[in-house]
Amino acid sequence: MSRRAPGRRPATKKNDTAKSGNQQLRIIAGEWRGRKLSFPAIEGLRPTPDRVRETLFNWISAYVPGAKCLDLFTGSGALGLEALSRGASQATLIDLSAVATKQLQANLQTLNASNGNVIQADVQRWLSQQSSEQNSDDPQYDLVFMDPPFRKELAAACCELLESQELLTKRAMIYVETESELTVLQVPDNWHLHREKNAGQVTYRLYMREAPDV
């Protein structure tokens, strides 16, 4: 998952191109600890900083082993790859950028990781087309990472789709990064704020889902 610089329009066109040269992402812990992977130097694409990733994975350390993960607006793939390194059983990484997703495919091959699935798609549209009932082969997700472009009002809409499309397990954990001025994020009523911190112009929140009463 990557953080887009506040106020900048993210690279979202299917024919987007990277600037000259690549940047590097470091896996913090787990099987691939210390491995450095390339990601394209697309304007506005930045991986979630190491210190934020470390804080997040301290929060969710007990939930990662064996988890099925969904990394939305994945960009560099920092969070999805970190989760796989730490023992997640599966990760689906989704981004609209053709350049970013192509590099993610290459990075998974470099790591010999067969449990990562990269999808080039508009995240909101992809979510709206999913259903645990209509797509019985698709898993419900235990962990979701979400880092949408700032100031596009995407976070709340995607949170609602995750719930309405029944894509989450009963006690799923959902991590969301937003611009810091978004002091209140609208989420489904059965999501409870578990942790929240600020890092510069970014606020990151971790929610725990409770299955609604039937």
For the stretch 83-95, pLDDT in tens is 999 999 999 999 9
For the stretch 147-198, pLDDT in tens is 998 888 899 999 999 999 999 999 999 999 999 999 999 999 999 999 999 9
Q: Would you place residue 207 in the very low, low, confident or very high pLDDT band (cuts 50, 70, 90)?
A: very high
**Whole-number pLDDT of residue 11:** 38
CA–CA distances in Å: residue 99 to residues 14, 61, 196: 8, 31, 32
pTM attached to this predicted model: 0.86
Alpha carbons 126 and 148: distance in angstroms, whole number: 14
Under 8 Å between Cβ of 98 and 127: no
Alpha carbons 115 and 108: distance in angstroms, whole number: 9
Of the chain, the percentage scoring pLDDT greater than 70 comes to 83
Tokens 């990064």 correspond to what residue? 177
**Whole-number pLDDT of residue 162:** 97
Q: Which CATH class is domain 14-209?
A: alpha beta
